[in-house]
Each structure stands twice: as C-alpha cells, then as structure tokens.
Structure 1
Amino acid sequence: MIRALAITWLLAAPALAQEAPDFIAKRAAGQLEAAQNALLLADRATDRVQALTKTVKAYEHGLVALREGLRRAAIRETALRRKFEAERERLAQLLGVLASIETSPGPLLLLHPSGPLGTARSGMIVSDVTPALQAEVATLRAELEELALMRALQQSAAQTLQDGLAGAQQARVTLSQAMSNRVDLPTRHLEDPQALSNLVNSVDTLRGFAAGIAEMRIAGAEAPLHIGEARGALPLPVAGTVLRRAGEADAAGIERPGLIVATEPRALVTTPWSATIRYRGPLLDYGNVMVLEPGDGYLLVLAGLEEVYGDTGDVLPAGSPVGLMGGNVPGAELFLTQAANGGGGAKSETLYIELRQGEEPVDPGIWFAFDG
C-alpha cells in the first residue's frame, strides 16, 4: 500500500511550465526598473519624443508581463491548494507512516514474529519502499515551498506594481506635453483647407470621409517612403489583441473592412510607417480619429482614440506617437484582482484599424504582422 501511495503521488507531480511565474515577475520588475531609468534620462535625450515613446512602451510591456506573472502565480497557487485538499487523507497517511518510521527503534522496526526469514523479508520491503517515500516527501516539500513562493510573489508585487503604474502615468503626461511643444516636424498643407472642414461637417460614413480625403490635393514637404516595401511586416499601431479581422461579423452581425484590436486603458498608439497626418479629431460616432497617409495612395484610419497628437499636415517618422486610448487605468488593488482572476477586465478599450487604397478598403491582415 505504501509503495502504491508513493507511485501514485509521483505520477501526479506537475510538469514544470515553460516559464515559471516567478521568472516572469522578475523579468517584469526588471523591465519596469529600466523604464523608470529611461524616464529619468528622457529630458536629456536628443530626441525627447522618441525617448519618451520608448519609455511609455517599456512601461506597457513591463506591466503586461507583471500581470501575466501574477496570473500564472494565482493559477498555480489555486491548483496546488486544490490538490492538497483532494489528497488530504492520503497526505495524512504519508505523514503517519513517516512519523512511525522516525519514532520506532531500528531493530524493533525490522523484527518480524515469523522469525528470521520474515524479518529478512520485511527488511527488504522497507528498503525497497524507502526511496519511493523519500521521493514523495521531496515532491511534497517542493510543492509546499512552491506554494509559499506563489503567495510571497503576489504579496511582494504590490510595491513594484504601484511604482510601475505611477511611472507609466508620469511618462504619458510628459509625452503629451512634449508632443504639444513639438515644432520640428516637416509639414505638408492642403491646397484648400476649407474643404476639409466642409467634408467633416457633411460626411455621414467613414468610407465617404476617407474617399473625400483621398481626393484632396496636398503639397509641401516630401512624401513618406513607399509603404509597399513593408507589406506583411508592419507592426500594429498599438499593443493589444486582435478581436476581429476584416470581414468578421461582430455580435450585432456588422462586418467591417478593418481590424478591431483590444487594448489596455491609456495604451499608446503609434504610426507603423512614416506618414502624413491628413486628419485628426472627432468624426461621426468613432470618437477621435487619426487619418494617416503612408504613401502610394494609401490611407490608414485609426478610430477610437481618446487623445490625439500632432496637427494636420505633420509628416511623422515611423513609430511616432499619434495618441492614447481611453479608459481608466486600474489602481494597484484592482490590477492585482484582475490578474488573480485571469486579467479579464484588462483590455477594456478597442482601436479600429482600416487601410484604404484610393476609395477602396484593403485587408489590413496582409499588411500587419501579428500572431493569431
């Protein structure tokens, strides 16, 4: 019975995950510390906007990694507790056996009433079972230590999280100020600026607006490089999860020609390619919209932002910030709760991404590089 108990316990031991929660959390803490250092150095950077953009993204990546580490820690802790609860009776038997072995004198433990032959057989059984018991005890000890580590990880993350959330907010505010003060960008201008105002006031669909923008003549600084060179390799403008691709119907059965990406609150949105701002501001029921012209007759429409940067006619290098998503960043306590529950409420905002060539939409899925 003891041998069967030991073998069953060993077979139930979990395999190590590819990335342990404590490893992910430590890496996240390092990312957040690096982001804090970058924020302190941003004021002295040659290109302050670029430095702050990288800092905000570093904070975003660090907080996402920290949430994942805490999520895995909570899942692992729950699994271990459920296992201990389910194995309560068997654990009690194991501890009882270990206690009896430790308290019984060696000669008496091996003494058998049937005589020397029985004593020899009992000695062979004990010597055979002892390694399995030792292995089982080692497994139990390791899992108890892991349980303590998971709990300590969640408790110690509070201060790291608090500092990370505060730093990310400071970086966003500083970036917004830097963008409002920026005057070094080349510009292109509309030949008929009033036409844009008329279009905004008269249009009733995003398609009609994009078509009208495409027809407006623009002059000034040199146009961006050919976007065709980046086909299939463009980074998404925002860190997030693709909810729907082009042509996929939503819950109401509505199909759109663009991507819908779920993002964290206040996530930073950047241009994936050098582009001219053709329009920025509120439009219809899309919230704030940013229309970028990356060249070759293409227009990139980003809808759903809360805050937009830059002015119409600015020519932006690739990776430039164009705005922030809306929503409320959770406090440390809510962040920890969301992480423990699987992070279900984390990506509460959605960015709509549409790519058009002339008057026709094209599938952005063949232009952007993303998983899933």
Structure 2
Amino acid sequence: MRRARALLVILALAGAAPAAAQSAPAETARAAAEALRAAARSLQDAEGARDRVAALSETIRAYEDGLAALREGMRRAAIREQAIALVLDARRAEIAQLLGALSGMPQSPETLLLHPAGPLGTARAGMMLGEVTPVLKAEADALRTRLEEIALMRALQESAAQTLAEGLAGAQRARTELSQAMSERRDLPRRFAADPDRLRDLIEASDTLDGFAAGLAQTEGPTAPENSLPGDFAALRGRLALPVEATILRRFDESDAADVSRPGLVLATRPLALVTTPVPATIRYRGPLLDYGNVIVLEPAEGYLMVLAGLAEVYGAEGEVLSAGRPVGLMGGADPRTAAFLDGASNRDGDLRTETLYMELRQGGRPVDPEPWFTHDKD
C-alpha cells in the first residue's frame, strides 16, 4: 500500500505528459521499423527490377531514412526517460516528506472508528478521504499510462537491436549490389568520348580545384546533355534537392577553424550515404583529384559545372549522360555497430553526420553560391 502511494506521489511530482507526447517516441520507432521492413522488401524486388540501378538507389534511400527515423525514436525515448529522472531527483526531499505524510493516513475503516475526536472526527476524516480518493484514482490511471509507456519503451529498446542489425546489414547489401550494378551497366548514352591523355595532363598541370575546373570548362566540343539549355537550368534555381541527405556545415566563402574559406558548401552527411545527381547532367570527370579524395564533375547545362568532392566511391565514366536522381557515388565512413548506434541515441547524439561532401557550382568558369539553388532545412 505504501509503495503504491509512493508511486502516486512520484507521478504527481513528475507531471503526466500529454498522451500525444507520450506516444511520439513509440510511434516514431514503430514507423521506422516498418520503413526498414519495407526497405527489405524493396531490396528483394530490386533483383528482378527492369531498372535495377534506380530500384537499388530507392532502396538505399529507404534504408537511410528508416535507420535515421529509428535512431530519432530511440533518442526521443532516452530524452524523456532522462527528463523524468531529473525531475524526481530534484524533488527527492519533497517526495520523502509527502510519503511520510501519506504513511500516517488511516488505511482501513476500523481505524476511522477509533478516531480520537469521536464520531465528528470520524465523519470529517471520511469526508477528507472521499475528496482525496478521486484524485488518487486519477493519478493511478495516469501512473498506469506512464508505466505502460515505460514498458513499451523498454520493449522497443530490446527489439531495436535486432531491427537495427537487420537494417544495417540490408543497407550494406543494397550498397554492394548497387556498386556491382553500376559496374555492369552498359545502357547509358554518351555525349562525348573522353580523352584520357588530356585529362591526365590537365590534372598534372592543376594545383588547385579552381584551376582544374577552369581548364575543364574550356574543353571544346558539345559536352552538356542534349536539349539542356542554360536558361532551362537557371529556371531550376531554388528547386533542386541536395545531392545527398545532409546539413550545411559551412556556407559559401565561410571560414573554418583554420581561417580557410572555400567558394562552395561543406555538407555534413551520414557514413556511406548515397550521392545522386540533382539534375540531368553529363559526367565531365570522375576520380581522385589533389587532396579532395574522389571527385565527380557534372555539367547540367552549357556554361555550368557542379563539383562534388570527398566521395569514397564514384560511379560512371566521363561522357556519360545521367538523368536526375541517378547515383554518382557513396560517402566514406562505416556503419556503426548496433551497440554503438543505440549508445549514440541514448547519449542524445541523434542523427550523427560524420562525413563531409564539398560542393561547388560554377557558372561561366567562376564559382557562385550554390545555396540559393537548393531546397534544404535551414540549419
């Protein structure tokens, strides 16, 4: 009985959260688990898809979104649990006082009959208990809801390990199959035949990305996709999706900690994230360049170049024409182990984005601020 009263007092002090708020972490985690199951089905269907590259690209994105959502659900659950613990710890003395007072309350009708004030005291005590009982019942109902929520959170945490393991393995399998499909495809049209010797000479003569891009822009001959006009591409300003799910780490010409600024965007991405072309474009260059790691240079229209640098793996070949949304590579890093994934969520790390992609947009041979061209969360 005293333990039950103690729980009621603790609930009253902690405060009962609205039902919608209580269910948010659970609903997020459930939806994420279903998204991962749907991604697994999509991976199976991709084996017989007519456009296997497109199917696998969609599958990888589905895995990425599902894993991020599951992590967010677990993060919210951890935050709620920590918040309740902090409230209870801050009111420990008050809880002790209230428990002492409650322990002195009569616990049976026989005790009321022996009230020292006689029948009047007994009547008053009965009235007081009659007023307190509905309050205690309401608190008991709220406690039951909270305890059910806690049990659900713990069940989700226990099942998250298996769900995560399957999701991480499925995502890696999809990436491997995509890389294989990209190496085997032979159906992409080519706008021009690359000149390896000329590219090699240009790389050797360039000591900066700016110099390389400027030299590449001066290449003669038709290289942009057919029917792709500068005006058509300019009309897409403000409507393009970022080439990867990311947040902006540094903006155009913004200095970093070493007081170095670059004429492009530094994007923070998840490990092994899929990178796609946001617009139909011709591959002008792909491969290692200076200290930028793997670089891919796309030409969406005559006079425009889009530079993506810092990829771990790049797809395609110079001269190939890509449609919007086609994969161009993968970011580096490694999928976290399931335990590390859960530990990060419990530590409120949320959606960790540890890899960086550098993006430049060039018009007429000179870099312009890419940010106004893209839709993204304003971080």
Output the TM-score relative to the length of structure 1: 0.90
Show the 5 A alignment for 1:49-88: 49-88=53-92
Q: Identify which range, 345-354 or 298-307, moves more after superposition.
A: 345-354
Match of 1:185 among 184, 188, 193: 188
Q: 1:143 to 1:91 in 2, by over 3 A?
A: farther
| SS across alignment from 1:177 | helix
CA RMSD of aligned residues (A): 2.7
| SS across alignment from 1:295 | coil
Q: 1:92 to 1:135 in 2, by over 3 A?
A: farther
Q: 1:160 to 1:211 in 2, by over 3 A?
A: same
Structure 1 position 154, deviation (Å): 1.2
Show the 5 A alignment for 1:115-194: 115-189=118-192, 194=197
Gaps of 5+ in 2: none
Gaps of 5+ in 1: none
Alignment partner, residue 359 of structure 2: 353
| SS across alignment from 1:261 | strand
Q: Distance in 2 between matches of 1:176 and 1:230?
A: 29
Residue pair 1:224, 1:276 contacting (<8 A) in 2 also: no
| SS across alignment from 1:46 | coil
Structure 1 position 122, deviation (Å): 2.4
Residue pair 2:23, 2:149 contacting (<8 A) in 1 also: no
Residue pair 2:310, 2:357 contacting (<8 A) in 1 also: yes
Residue pair 1:10, 1:139 contacting (<8 A) in 2 also: no
Q: Distance in 1 between matches of 2:147 and 2:81?
A: 10
Alignment partner, residue 321 of structure 2: 315
Amino acid at match of 1:153: L
Q: Identify which range, 110-119 or 32-41, moves more after superposition.
A: 110-119
Q: 1:7 to 1:198 in 2, by over 3 A?
A: closer
| SS across alignment from 1:219 | coil
User: How many residues are aligned here?
Assistant: 368
Match of 2:233 among 209, 212, 227: 227
Residue pair 1:80, 1:147 contacting (<8 A) in 2 also: no
Show the 5 A alignment for 1:271-282: 271-282=277-288
Structure 1 position 99, deviation (Å): 7.0
Residue pair 1:303, 1:351 contacting (<8 A) in 2 also: yes
Output the TM-score relative to the length of structure 2: 0.88
Structure 1 position 117, deviation (Å): 3.4
Q: Distance in 2 between matches of 1:191 and 1:283?
A: 17
Alignment partner, residue 42 of structure 2: 38
Show the 5 A alignment for 1:322-337: 322-337=328-343
Q: 1:206 to 1:18 in 2, by over 3 A?
A: farther
Q: Distance in 2 between matches of 1:234 and 1:151?
A: 41
Q: Alignment identity in percent?
A: 58
